């Protein structure tokens, strides 16, 4: 059975051990989120698709962009 002071200490340790974002990381996330602009696409418009998983070195001459593709239907966000 834990005493009252042991219970307080235990709860404080649990609180301290929770993963938290640092202030700098949080402010960077806010800054980057402000820079994101919503894009509006119209049917018939042509777009390129960016493949972010394609690594630059395995096939150096591979393009990370594919397309153009034509927008056929736009659904609400």
Query: What is the chain's pLDDT, residue by residue, as a tens digit (77 residues)?
Result: 556 777 776 776 666 555 556 778 888 888 888 888 888 999 999 999 888 776 666 666 677 788 899 999 998 87
State residue 13's pLDDT score.
63
Instruction: Provide DSSP, 3-70.
Output: -HHHHHHHHHHHHHHS----HHHHHHHHHHHHH-------TT-EEEEE-TT--TTTTTT--SEEEEEE
State residue 48's pLDDT score.
92
State residue 19's pLDDT score.
56
| pLDDT tens profile 10-23 | 776 666 555 556 77
Could you tell me the two tokens for 63?
């393009």
Could you tell me the pTM of the whole model?
0.46
């Amino acid at each position: 059975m834990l005493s009252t002071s042991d219970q307080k200490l235990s709860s404080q340790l649990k609180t301290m051990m929770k993963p938290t974002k640092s202030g700098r990381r949080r402010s960077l996330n806010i800054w980057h989120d402000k820079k994101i602009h919503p894009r509006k696409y119209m049917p018939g418009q042509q777009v390129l698709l960016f493949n972010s998983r394609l690594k630059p070195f395995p096939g150096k001459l591979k393009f990370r962009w594919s397309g153009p593709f034509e927008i056929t239907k736009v659904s609400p966000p």
